[in-house]
Amino acid sequence: MLEILQYEFMRNALMASVLVSIACGVVGTYVVVKRIVFISGGIAHAAFGGIGLGYLLGVSPILTAIPFSLVSAVAIGVLGHRERISEDTSIGILWAMGMALGIIFIGLAPGYAPDLLSYLFGNILTVPVTDLYMMLALDIVILGTVAVFYQDFLAISFDEEFATVSGAPSRALYMLLLCLVALSVVVLIRVVGVILVVALLTMPAAISRQFTSRLDRLMALSVLVGMVLTVAGLWLSFVLDLASGATIVMVLGTAFLLTSSLHRPSTA
Amino acid sequence: MAEARCLQAHPVTVMVEEKVIVRLDGVDVSFGGSQVLEGVTIDIHENDYIAVLGPNGGGKSTLLKVILGLIPPDAGTVEVFGTSPEEGRRRIGYLPQYARFDREFPITVNEVVLMGRYRGPFSGYTTMDRQKVTKALDTVEMSEYGDRQIGALSGGQLQRVLLARALAREPELLLLDEPMASIDPDMQRSFYELMAELRDRMAVVMVTHDIGVMSEEVVEVACLNRKLFHHGDAEGGAEGLEAAYACPIQLIDHGHPHRVLRRH
Protein backbone atom coordinates (compact mmCIF):
# COMPACT_ATOMS: atom_id res chain seq x y z
CA MET A 1 0.00 0.00 0.00
CA LEU A 2 2.82 2.37 0.85
CA GLU A 3 4.38 2.30 -2.60
CA ILE A 4 1.49 4.32 -3.96
CA LEU A 5 2.70 7.24 -1.84
CA GLN A 6 5.71 7.72 -4.10
CA TYR A 7 3.43 9.35 -6.65
CA GLU A 8 2.77 13.00 -6.04
CA PHE A 9 -0.81 12.70 -7.31
CA MET A 10 -1.37 10.01 -4.71
CA ARG A 11 -0.03 12.17 -1.90
CA ASN A 12 -2.31 14.94 -3.09
CA ALA A 13 -5.20 12.54 -3.27
CA LEU A 14 -4.58 11.47 0.32
CA MET A 15 -4.46 15.09 1.43
CA ALA A 16 -7.71 15.68 -0.44
CA SER A 17 -9.34 12.72 1.33
CA VAL A 18 -8.41 14.15 4.69
CA LEU A 19 -9.61 17.66 3.84
CA VAL A 20 -12.85 16.32 2.41
CA SER A 21 -13.49 14.17 5.47
CA ILE A 22 -13.20 17.16 7.78
CA ALA A 23 -15.79 19.15 5.86
CA CYS A 24 -18.23 16.31 5.38
CA GLY A 25 -17.84 14.93 8.89
CA VAL A 26 -18.65 18.24 10.55
CA VAL A 27 -21.22 19.67 8.16
CA GLY A 28 -22.58 16.24 7.25
CA THR A 29 -23.51 15.74 10.90
CA TYR A 30 -25.86 18.72 10.70
CA VAL A 31 -27.10 17.61 7.28
CA VAL A 32 -28.10 14.26 8.73
CA VAL A 33 -29.56 15.32 12.08
CA LYS A 34 -31.38 18.34 10.67
CA ARG A 35 -32.56 16.28 7.72
CA ILE A 36 -31.43 18.63 5.00
CA VAL A 37 -29.95 15.96 2.74
CA PHE A 38 -31.89 17.02 -0.31
CA ILE A 39 -31.30 20.69 0.23
CA SER A 40 -27.63 19.80 0.21
CA GLY A 41 -28.12 17.84 -2.99
CA GLY A 42 -29.84 20.84 -4.54
CA ILE A 43 -27.00 23.15 -3.54
CA ALA A 44 -24.46 20.69 -4.96
CA HIS A 45 -26.15 20.49 -8.32
CA ALA A 46 -26.75 24.22 -8.47
CA ALA A 47 -23.02 24.66 -7.93
CA PHE A 48 -22.52 23.18 -11.38
CA GLY A 49 -23.65 26.54 -12.75
CA GLY A 50 -20.63 28.04 -11.03
CA ILE A 51 -18.36 25.47 -12.59
CA GLY A 52 -19.70 26.34 -16.05
CA LEU A 53 -19.13 30.00 -15.28
CA GLY A 54 -15.51 29.21 -14.47
CA TYR A 55 -15.06 27.61 -17.88
CA LEU A 56 -16.71 30.59 -19.56
CA LEU A 57 -14.56 33.14 -17.73
CA GLY A 58 -11.43 31.07 -18.08
CA VAL A 59 -10.78 30.88 -14.34
CA SER A 60 -10.63 27.92 -11.98
CA PRO A 61 -14.16 26.47 -11.88
CA ILE A 62 -13.75 25.82 -8.16
CA LEU A 63 -13.29 29.55 -7.62
CA THR A 64 -16.56 30.45 -9.34
CA ALA A 65 -18.36 27.55 -7.70
CA ILE A 66 -17.94 29.19 -4.28
CA PRO A 67 -20.14 32.28 -4.85
CA PHE A 68 -22.51 30.27 -7.00
CA SER A 69 -23.22 27.63 -4.38
CA LEU A 70 -23.43 30.26 -1.63
CA VAL A 71 -26.06 32.16 -3.64
CA SER A 72 -28.04 29.01 -4.34
CA ALA A 73 -27.91 28.07 -0.65
CA VAL A 74 -29.35 31.43 0.33
CA ALA A 75 -31.90 31.23 -2.50
CA ILE A 76 -33.14 27.82 -1.36
CA GLY A 77 -33.36 29.12 2.19
CA VAL A 78 -35.28 32.24 1.16
CA LEU A 79 -37.62 30.55 -1.31
CA GLY A 80 -38.26 27.64 1.00
CA HIS A 81 -39.54 29.91 3.74
CA ARG A 82 -42.12 31.54 1.49
CA GLU A 83 -45.59 30.41 2.25
CA ARG A 84 -46.57 29.65 -1.33
CA ILE A 85 -43.49 27.71 -2.39
CA SER A 86 -42.57 24.56 -0.56
CA GLU A 87 -38.93 24.00 0.22
CA ASP A 88 -39.16 20.82 -1.79
CA THR A 89 -40.20 22.74 -4.88
CA SER A 90 -37.56 25.42 -4.48
CA ILE A 91 -34.89 22.72 -4.18
CA GLY A 92 -36.08 21.12 -7.40
CA ILE A 93 -36.10 24.42 -9.27
CA LEU A 94 -32.62 25.54 -8.17
CA TRP A 95 -31.22 22.07 -8.65
CA ALA A 96 -32.27 22.01 -12.31
CA MET A 97 -31.58 25.67 -13.05
CA GLY A 98 -28.05 25.47 -11.68
CA MET A 99 -27.26 22.46 -13.83
CA ALA A 100 -28.86 24.09 -16.88
CA LEU A 101 -26.90 27.29 -16.39
CA GLY A 102 -23.71 25.27 -16.14
CA ILE A 103 -24.43 23.53 -19.41
CA ILE A 104 -25.23 26.83 -21.14
CA PHE A 105 -22.06 28.48 -19.81
CA ILE A 106 -19.93 25.56 -20.94
CA GLY A 107 -21.56 25.69 -24.36
CA LEU A 108 -20.76 29.38 -24.63
CA ALA A 109 -17.16 28.88 -23.54
CA PRO A 110 -14.74 28.71 -26.47
CA GLY A 111 -13.33 25.32 -27.34
CA TYR A 112 -13.55 22.01 -25.62
CA ALA A 113 -14.23 21.76 -21.88
CA PRO A 114 -11.39 19.72 -20.41
CA ASP A 115 -12.02 17.47 -17.42
CA LEU A 116 -15.67 18.36 -17.31
CA LEU A 117 -16.45 14.83 -16.23
CA SER A 118 -14.22 15.18 -13.19
CA TYR A 119 -16.48 17.99 -11.93
CA LEU A 120 -19.54 15.87 -12.47
CA PHE A 121 -18.23 12.61 -11.06
CA GLY A 122 -15.06 13.69 -9.28
CA ASN A 123 -11.49 12.66 -9.75
CA ILE A 124 -9.46 12.73 -6.61
CA LEU A 125 -6.32 11.81 -8.57
CA THR A 126 -6.26 15.07 -10.51
CA VAL A 127 -6.68 17.50 -7.62
CA PRO A 128 -4.10 20.23 -8.17
CA VAL A 129 -2.13 21.64 -5.24
CA THR A 130 -3.82 25.04 -5.57
CA ASP A 131 -7.19 23.38 -5.03
CA LEU A 132 -5.82 21.62 -1.95
CA TYR A 133 -4.99 25.00 -0.44
CA MET A 134 -8.46 26.24 -1.25
CA MET A 135 -9.99 23.15 0.35
CA LEU A 136 -7.83 23.71 3.42
CA ALA A 137 -8.96 27.34 3.65
CA LEU A 138 -12.62 26.32 3.33
CA ASP A 139 -12.16 23.66 6.01
CA ILE A 140 -10.77 26.29 8.35
CA VAL A 141 -13.72 28.59 7.66
CA ILE A 142 -16.15 25.72 8.28
CA LEU A 143 -14.46 24.59 11.51
CA GLY A 144 -14.19 28.15 12.79
CA THR A 145 -17.85 28.88 12.10
CA VAL A 146 -19.02 25.67 13.74
CA ALA A 147 -16.80 26.35 16.76
CA VAL A 148 -18.40 29.76 17.21
CA PHE A 149 -21.99 28.71 16.51
CA TYR A 150 -21.96 25.16 17.87
CA GLN A 151 -24.64 25.75 20.53
CA ASP A 152 -26.73 27.84 18.16
CA PHE A 153 -26.71 25.22 15.42
CA LEU A 154 -27.53 22.57 18.01
CA ALA A 155 -30.46 24.65 19.26
CA ILE A 156 -32.01 25.21 15.82
CA SER A 157 -31.34 21.63 14.75
CA PHE A 158 -33.05 20.11 17.75
CA ASP A 159 -35.99 22.48 18.08
CA GLU A 160 -36.03 25.52 15.84
CA GLU A 161 -39.23 26.87 17.34
CA PHE A 162 -37.99 26.75 20.91
CA ALA A 163 -34.67 28.25 19.84
CA THR A 164 -36.53 31.14 18.20
CA VAL A 165 -38.56 31.74 21.33
CA SER A 166 -35.36 31.72 23.38
CA GLY A 167 -33.82 34.44 21.26
CA ALA A 168 -32.05 32.60 18.44
CA PRO A 169 -32.03 34.36 15.07
CA SER A 170 -33.17 31.06 13.60
CA ARG A 171 -33.56 32.16 9.99
CA ALA A 172 -30.10 33.72 9.89
CA LEU A 173 -28.55 30.70 11.60
CA TYR A 174 -30.27 28.36 9.18
CA MET A 175 -28.93 30.39 6.24
CA LEU A 176 -25.47 30.28 7.75
CA LEU A 177 -25.76 26.52 8.08
CA LEU A 178 -26.82 26.24 4.44
CA CYS A 179 -23.82 28.40 3.50
CA LEU A 180 -21.57 25.94 5.33
CA VAL A 181 -23.19 23.18 3.31
CA ALA A 182 -22.43 25.20 0.18
CA LEU A 183 -18.76 25.55 1.16
CA SER A 184 -18.53 21.83 1.90
CA VAL A 185 -20.01 21.13 -1.49
CA VAL A 186 -17.18 23.13 -3.05
CA VAL A 187 -14.62 21.22 -0.99
CA LEU A 188 -16.16 17.95 -2.14
CA ILE A 189 -16.66 18.69 -5.84
CA ARG A 190 -13.07 17.86 -6.79
CA VAL A 191 -13.23 14.52 -5.08
CA VAL A 192 -16.63 13.07 -5.91
CA GLY A 193 -18.16 15.62 -8.29
CA VAL A 194 -21.46 17.49 -7.96
CA ILE A 195 -23.55 14.39 -8.60
CA LEU A 196 -22.02 12.33 -5.78
CA VAL A 197 -21.50 15.09 -3.20
CA VAL A 198 -24.60 14.06 -1.26
CA ALA A 199 -23.01 10.67 -0.59
CA LEU A 200 -20.09 12.17 1.28
CA LEU A 201 -22.24 14.66 3.13
CA THR A 202 -24.52 11.97 4.48
CA MET A 203 -22.84 8.61 4.72
CA PRO A 204 -20.00 9.21 7.23
CA ALA A 205 -22.48 10.86 9.62
CA ALA A 206 -25.14 8.23 8.94
CA ILE A 207 -22.64 5.46 9.71
CA SER A 208 -21.29 7.16 12.84
CA ARG A 209 -24.73 8.00 14.15
CA GLN A 210 -25.27 4.36 14.97
CA PHE A 211 -22.42 4.42 17.44
CA THR A 212 -22.81 7.63 19.39
CA SER A 213 -25.53 9.80 20.79
CA ARG A 214 -23.60 13.03 21.29
CA LEU A 215 -23.40 15.59 18.54
CA ASP A 216 -19.77 16.57 19.15
CA ARG A 217 -18.66 12.95 19.21
CA LEU A 218 -20.73 12.30 16.12
CA MET A 219 -18.78 14.99 14.30
CA ALA A 220 -15.41 13.63 15.40
CA LEU A 221 -16.38 10.07 14.55
CA SER A 222 -17.78 11.12 11.16
CA VAL A 223 -14.51 12.85 10.30
CA LEU A 224 -12.60 9.70 11.28
CA VAL A 225 -14.95 7.34 9.45
CA GLY A 226 -14.81 9.63 6.41
CA MET A 227 -11.02 9.59 6.40
CA VAL A 228 -10.69 5.84 6.73
CA LEU A 229 -13.33 5.04 4.13
CA THR A 230 -12.32 7.63 1.53
CA VAL A 231 -8.70 6.49 1.77
CA ALA A 232 -9.88 2.88 1.54
CA GLY A 233 -11.94 3.79 -1.50
CA LEU A 234 -9.05 5.65 -3.02
CA TRP A 235 -6.74 2.68 -2.52
CA LEU A 236 -9.33 0.29 -3.92
CA SER A 237 -9.85 2.45 -6.99
CA PHE A 238 -6.07 2.51 -7.54
CA VAL A 239 -5.70 -1.24 -7.16
CA LEU A 240 -8.75 -2.15 -9.24
CA ASP A 241 -8.31 0.74 -11.67
CA LEU A 242 -11.82 2.09 -11.09
CA ALA A 243 -13.16 5.66 -11.07
CA SER A 244 -12.04 7.07 -7.71
CA GLY A 245 -15.10 9.15 -6.78
CA ALA A 246 -17.53 6.37 -7.57
CA THR A 247 -15.41 3.79 -5.74
CA ILE A 248 -15.27 5.98 -2.62
CA VAL A 249 -19.06 6.33 -2.70
CA MET A 250 -19.51 2.59 -3.11
CA VAL A 251 -17.18 1.91 -0.17
CA LEU A 252 -19.09 4.39 2.00
CA GLY A 253 -22.44 2.98 0.94
CA THR A 254 -21.36 -0.59 1.56
CA ALA A 255 -20.02 0.38 4.98
CA PHE A 256 -23.33 1.99 5.81
CA LEU A 257 -25.34 -1.03 4.72
CA LEU A 258 -23.06 -3.37 6.65
CA THR A 259 -23.04 -1.35 9.88
CA SER A 260 -26.76 -0.66 9.84
CA SER A 261 -27.64 -4.30 9.27
CA LEU A 262 -25.18 -5.61 11.86
CA HIS A 263 -25.71 -2.94 14.45
CA ARG A 264 -29.12 -2.44 15.96
CA PRO A 265 -29.11 1.28 16.67
CA SER A 266 -29.05 1.60 20.44
CA THR A 267 -30.80 4.48 22.05
CA ALA A 268 -28.92 4.13 25.32
CA MET B 1 -58.72 24.16 47.45
CA ALA B 2 -57.22 26.50 44.95
CA GLU B 3 -58.61 29.39 46.86
CA ALA B 4 -56.94 28.58 50.13
CA ARG B 5 -53.64 27.76 48.52
CA CYS B 6 -53.57 30.99 46.56
CA LEU B 7 -54.14 33.08 49.60
CA GLN B 8 -51.53 31.31 51.61
CA ALA B 9 -48.95 31.37 48.92
CA HIS B 10 -49.31 35.02 48.06
CA PRO B 11 -50.11 36.84 51.26
CA VAL B 12 -48.13 39.88 50.19
CA THR B 13 -48.63 39.81 46.46
CA VAL B 14 -52.37 39.96 46.54
CA MET B 15 -52.29 43.49 45.22
CA VAL B 16 -50.46 42.57 42.04
CA GLU B 17 -52.60 39.51 41.48
CA GLU B 18 -54.57 41.26 38.79
CA LYS B 19 -51.59 42.37 36.78
CA VAL B 20 -52.11 41.49 33.13
CA ILE B 21 -49.10 39.75 31.60
CA VAL B 22 -50.53 38.79 28.22
CA ARG B 23 -53.22 40.69 26.37
CA LEU B 24 -54.72 39.57 23.09
CA ASP B 25 -57.22 41.88 21.46
CA GLY B 26 -59.26 40.89 18.41
CA VAL B 27 -56.65 38.51 17.07
CA ASP B 28 -57.32 36.98 13.65
CA VAL B 29 -55.10 34.30 12.14
CA SER B 30 -55.63 32.45 8.90
CA PHE B 31 -53.55 29.93 7.00
CA GLY B 32 -53.99 29.66 3.26
CA GLY B 33 -57.42 31.27 3.33
CA SER B 34 -58.92 29.31 6.20
CA GLN B 35 -59.54 31.19 9.39
CA VAL B 36 -57.90 29.55 12.40
CA LEU B 37 -58.45 32.23 15.00
CA GLU B 38 -61.14 34.85 14.81
CA GLY B 39 -61.45 37.88 17.04
CA VAL B 40 -59.72 36.25 19.97
CA THR B 41 -59.56 38.53 22.97
CA ILE B 42 -58.13 37.32 26.24
CA ASP B 43 -56.18 38.63 29.21
CA ILE B 44 -53.81 36.41 31.11
CA HIS B 45 -52.95 37.56 34.61
CA GLU B 46 -50.08 36.81 36.88
CA ASN B 47 -50.76 33.54 38.70
CA ASP B 48 -53.55 32.50 36.37
CA TYR B 49 -53.96 28.80 35.78
CA ILE B 50 -55.95 28.46 32.59
CA ALA B 51 -56.91 25.41 30.58
CA VAL B 52 -57.64 26.11 26.94
CA LEU B 53 -59.99 23.41 25.74
CA GLY B 54 -61.22 22.73 22.27
CA PRO B 55 -61.30 20.22 19.47
CA ASN B 56 -58.28 19.37 17.34
CA GLY B 57 -57.77 22.04 14.76
CA GLY B 58 -59.61 24.53 16.92
CA GLY B 59 -56.60 26.85 16.96
CA LYS B 60 -55.22 26.05 20.41
CA SER B 61 -51.61 25.59 19.40
CA THR B 62 -51.91 28.60 17.12
CA LEU B 63 -53.05 30.67 20.07
CA LEU B 64 -49.90 29.74 21.99
CA LYS B 65 -47.73 30.48 18.97
CA VAL B 66 -49.34 33.89 18.59
CA ILE B 67 -48.47 34.65 22.20
CA LEU B 68 -44.92 33.45 21.52
CA GLY B 69 -44.63 35.65 18.46
CA LEU B 70 -44.08 32.64 16.21
CA ILE B 71 -47.20 33.40 14.20
CA PRO B 72 -47.95 37.06 13.51
CA PRO B 73 -51.70 37.72 13.58
CA ASP B 74 -53.47 39.05 10.47
CA ALA B 75 -55.38 41.48 12.65
CA GLY B 76 -55.56 42.46 16.29
CA THR B 77 -52.89 43.21 18.85
CA VAL B 78 -50.76 41.01 21.06
CA GLU B 79 -49.00 42.33 24.10
CA VAL B 80 -46.69 40.15 26.18
CA PHE B 81 -45.35 41.53 29.46
CA GLY B 82 -46.23 45.00 28.25
CA THR B 83 -44.23 44.70 25.06
CA SER B 84 -44.15 42.84 21.75
CA PRO B 85 -44.24 39.02 21.77
CA GLU B 86 -40.73 38.97 20.29
CA GLU B 87 -39.43 40.88 23.31
CA GLY B 88 -41.72 39.51 25.99
CA ARG B 89 -41.35 35.85 25.07
CA ARG B 90 -38.03 35.65 26.81
CA ARG B 91 -40.00 35.51 30.03
CA ILE B 92 -42.13 32.61 28.83
CA GLY B 93 -41.44 28.92 29.31
CA TYR B 94 -42.81 26.87 26.42
CA LEU B 95 -43.58 23.18 26.27
CA PRO B 96 -44.29 22.36 22.63
CA GLN B 97 -46.24 19.39 21.39
CA TYR B 98 -44.41 16.24 22.20
CA ALA B 99 -45.05 14.50 18.89
CA ARG B 100 -42.75 16.90 17.08
CA PHE B 101 -39.57 15.51 18.56
CA ASP B 102 -37.03 13.34 16.84
CA ARG B 103 -36.28 10.84 19.57
CA GLU B 104 -33.19 9.69 17.72
CA PHE B 105 -31.56 13.12 17.82
CA PRO B 106 -28.06 12.76 19.29
CA ILE B 107 -28.50 14.89 22.37
CA THR B 108 -28.47 14.28 26.11
CA VAL B 109 -31.02 15.33 28.70
CA ASN B 110 -28.59 17.90 30.13
CA GLU B 111 -28.06 19.47 26.73
CA VAL B 112 -31.80 19.69 26.08
CA VAL B 113 -32.47 21.41 29.38
CA LEU B 114 -29.49 23.71 28.89
CA MET B 115 -31.27 25.06 25.82
CA GLY B 116 -33.77 26.56 28.22
CA ARG B 117 -30.94 28.90 29.20
CA TYR B 118 -30.12 29.83 25.60
CA ARG B 119 -29.89 33.57 25.11
CA GLY B 120 -28.56 33.98 21.59
CA PRO B 121 -25.33 33.76 19.60
CA PHE B 122 -22.02 34.66 21.24
CA SER B 123 -23.42 34.43 24.76
CA GLY B 124 -22.50 30.87 25.71
CA TYR B 125 -23.59 29.05 28.85
CA THR B 126 -22.31 29.91 32.30
CA THR B 127 -21.86 27.91 35.49
CA MET B 128 -25.03 29.55 36.72
CA ASP B 129 -26.88 28.24 33.68
CA ARG B 130 -25.70 24.74 34.50
CA GLN B 131 -26.86 25.14 38.10
CA LYS B 132 -30.29 26.20 36.88
CA VAL B 133 -30.36 23.10 34.69
CA THR B 134 -29.64 20.91 37.71
CA LYS B 135 -32.35 22.69 39.63
CA ALA B 136 -34.90 22.33 36.84
CA LEU B 137 -34.13 18.62 36.50
CA ASP B 138 -34.54 18.32 40.26
CA THR B 139 -37.95 19.94 40.09
CA VAL B 140 -39.20 17.42 37.55
CA GLU B 141 -37.39 14.58 39.38
CA MET B 142 -35.17 13.72 36.46
CA SER B 143 -31.75 14.59 37.92
CA GLU B 144 -30.46 11.05 37.56
CA TYR B 145 -31.02 11.09 33.83
CA GLY B 146 -28.80 14.03 32.90
CA ASP B 147 -26.38 12.07 30.77
CA ARG B 148 -28.96 9.92 29.02
CA GLN B 149 -29.67 10.32 25.37
CA ILE B 150 -33.29 11.41 24.92
CA GLY B 151 -34.14 8.29 22.94
CA ALA B 152 -33.54 6.26 26.11
CA LEU B 153 -36.41 7.95 27.93
CA SER B 154 -40.04 6.97 28.16
CA GLY B 155 -42.67 9.36 26.81
CA GLY B 156 -43.48 10.71 30.25
CA GLN B 157 -39.81 11.15 31.08
CA LEU B 158 -39.13 13.08 27.89
CA GLN B 159 -42.15 15.23 28.62
CA ARG B 160 -40.65 16.03 32.03
CA VAL B 161 -37.31 16.87 30.47
CA LEU B 162 -39.01 19.24 28.05
CA LEU B 163 -40.83 20.79 30.98
CA ALA B 164 -37.49 21.19 32.76
CA ARG B 165 -36.19 22.98 29.67
CA ALA B 166 -39.08 25.43 29.92
CA LEU B 167 -38.54 25.84 33.68
CA ALA B 168 -34.80 26.43 33.32
CA ARG B 169 -35.68 29.82 31.88
CA GLU B 170 -37.29 30.66 35.23
CA PRO B 171 -40.34 31.86 33.37
CA GLU B 172 -43.14 34.01 34.67
CA LEU B 173 -45.56 32.33 32.31
CA LEU B 174 -45.65 28.68 31.33
CA LEU B 175 -47.33 27.70 28.05
CA LEU B 176 -48.04 23.98 27.75
CA ASP B 177 -49.19 22.50 24.46
CA GLU B 178 -51.01 19.19 25.06
CA PRO B 179 -48.80 18.25 28.03
CA MET B 180 -50.86 15.13 28.74
CA ALA B 181 -50.65 13.59 25.31
CA SER B 182 -48.69 10.35 25.19
CA ILE B 183 -48.15 9.95 28.91
CA ASP B 184 -49.81 7.31 31.04
CA PRO B 185 -52.40 8.16 33.71
CA ASP B 186 -49.97 7.74 36.63
CA MET B 187 -47.56 10.14 35.04
CA GLN B 188 -50.41 12.52 34.30
CA ARG B 189 -51.31 12.65 37.95
CA SER B 190 -47.78 13.47 39.05
CA PHE B 191 -47.55 15.99 36.23
CA TYR B 192 -50.57 17.76 37.68
CA GLU B 193 -49.09 17.67 41.16
CA LEU B 194 -46.03 19.31 39.71
CA MET B 195 -48.21 21.92 38.03
CA ALA B 196 -49.93 22.65 41.30
CA GLU B 197 -46.53 23.41 42.81
CA LEU B 198 -45.33 25.50 39.92
CA ARG B 199 -48.50 27.48 39.73
CA ASP B 200 -47.48 29.28 42.90
CA ARG B 201 -44.48 30.68 41.09
CA MET B 202 -45.83 31.42 37.62
CA ALA B 203 -48.89 31.72 35.47
CA VAL B 204 -49.78 28.54 33.61
CA VAL B 205 -51.72 28.23 30.38
CA MET B 206 -52.36 24.67 29.26
CA VAL B 207 -53.83 23.58 25.98
CA THR B 208 -55.64 20.27 25.74
CA HIS B 209 -58.18 18.58 23.51
CA ASP B 210 -58.86 15.94 26.11
CA ILE B 211 -61.23 17.23 28.76
CA GLY B 212 -60.90 14.04 30.75
CA VAL B 213 -57.41 14.92 31.79
CA MET B 214 -58.18 18.37 33.05
CA SER B 215 -56.90 18.95 36.51
CA GLU B 216 -59.04 19.90 39.45
CA GLU B 217 -56.51 22.59 40.11
CA VAL B 218 -57.34 24.45 36.95
CA VAL B 219 -58.88 27.72 37.90
CA GLU B 220 -60.13 28.98 34.61
CA VAL B 221 -61.26 27.40 31.41
CA ALA B 222 -61.27 28.90 27.97
CA CYS B 223 -62.87 27.11 25.10
CA LEU B 224 -61.42 27.68 21.71
CA ASN B 225 -62.82 26.63 18.42
CA ARG B 226 -61.68 29.33 16.01
CA LYS B 227 -63.40 31.82 18.29
CA LEU B 228 -62.79 32.01 21.97
CA PHE B 229 -66.16 31.05 23.34
CA HIS B 230 -65.55 31.83 26.89
CA HIS B 231 -62.93 32.55 29.32
CA GLY B 232 -63.69 32.63 32.97
CA ASP B 233 -63.78 30.80 36.24
CA ALA B 234 -64.02 27.08 36.02
CA GLU B 235 -66.70 25.00 37.66
CA GLY B 236 -66.36 21.23 37.53
CA GLY B 237 -69.23 19.30 36.04
CA ALA B 238 -69.11 16.91 33.18
CA GLU B 239 -72.26 18.36 31.73
CA GLY B 240 -70.89 21.81 31.29
CA LEU B 241 -67.65 20.48 29.93
CA GLU B 242 -69.45 18.40 27.38
CA ALA B 243 -71.43 21.37 26.30
CA ALA B 244 -68.25 23.32 26.10
CA TYR B 245 -66.62 20.66 24.09
CA ALA B 246 -69.33 20.50 21.54
CA CYS B 247 -68.69 24.19 21.00
CA PRO B 248 -70.59 26.57 21.07
CA ILE B 249 -69.22 26.69 24.48
CA GLN B 250 -70.03 27.59 27.99
CA LEU B 251 -67.87 28.21 30.93
CA ILE B 252 -67.59 26.03 33.89
CA ASP B 253 -67.02 27.14 37.42
CA HIS B 254 -64.69 25.52 39.84
CA GLY B 255 -63.90 27.78 42.71
CA HIS B 256 -63.40 31.51 42.52
CA PRO B 257 -59.92 32.36 43.64
CA HIS B 258 -59.68 35.47 41.52
CA ARG B 259 -62.89 36.85 42.78
CA VAL B 260 -61.75 36.26 46.31
CA LEU B 261 -58.48 37.94 45.66
CA ARG B 262 -60.11 40.83 43.90
CA ARG B 263 -61.70 41.88 47.12
CA HIS B 264 -58.35 42.56 48.76
**For chain B, what are the domain ranges?**
2-262
Does a structural domain hold residue A267?
no
- Torsion sign across C-alpha atoms B102, B108, B109, B112: negative
**What are the C-alpha distances in Å from B118 to residues A103, A151, A156, B13?**
46, 8, 11, 30
Instruction: List the single range of A225-234, B14-23, B218-227, B246-255 with lowest mean pLDDT.
Output: B246-255
Please check the confidence at residue B116 and state whether its pLDDT lies above 90.
yes
The rounded distance, in Å, linking the Cα atoms of A75 and A49 is 14
Tell me if chain B has a CB within 8 Å of the CB of A144. Answer: no
CB < 8 Å to A166, chain B: 90, 115-116, 118-120, 169
Q: Which residues of A touch B113 (CB under 8 A)?
A: none
| Residue, of B215 and A101, whose pLDDT is higher | A101
Pick from A152, A155, A215: CB nearest B106: A215
What letter does residue A76 receive in the DSSP assignment?
H
Best CA proximity match to A230, nearest among A6, A8, A18, A40: A18
Q: How far apart are the first and last CA of chain A?
A: 39
Q: Work out the percent of chain B whose per-residue pLDDT is above 70.
A: 76
pLDDT at B247 over 50: no
The per-residue pLDDT for A18 is: 93
Give the predicted TM-score (pTM) of the model. Answer: 0.86
ipTM: 0.86
Q: What is the pLDDT of residue B231?
A: 56
Which residue range forms the structural domain that includes residue A26?
2-260
CATH of the domain at A83: 1.10.3470.10
Residues of B in contact with A83 (CB under 8 A): 32
- The class (CATH top level) of B2-262 is alpha beta
Average pLDDT, chain A: 90
* Stretch 142-161 of chain B: residues touching chain A, C-beta under 8 Å: 148-149, 151-152
Structural domain contains residue A265? no
Say how far apart CA B1 and CA B5 lie, in whole Å: 6
pLDDT tens profile B66-102: 999 999 999 999 999 999 999 999 999 999 987 778 8
The number of domains in chain A is 1
The separation between the first and the last C-alpha atoms of chain B, rounded to the nearest angstrom, is 18
Instruction: Enumerate residue ranges in chain A where pLDDT < 70.
Output: 1-2, 83, 264-268
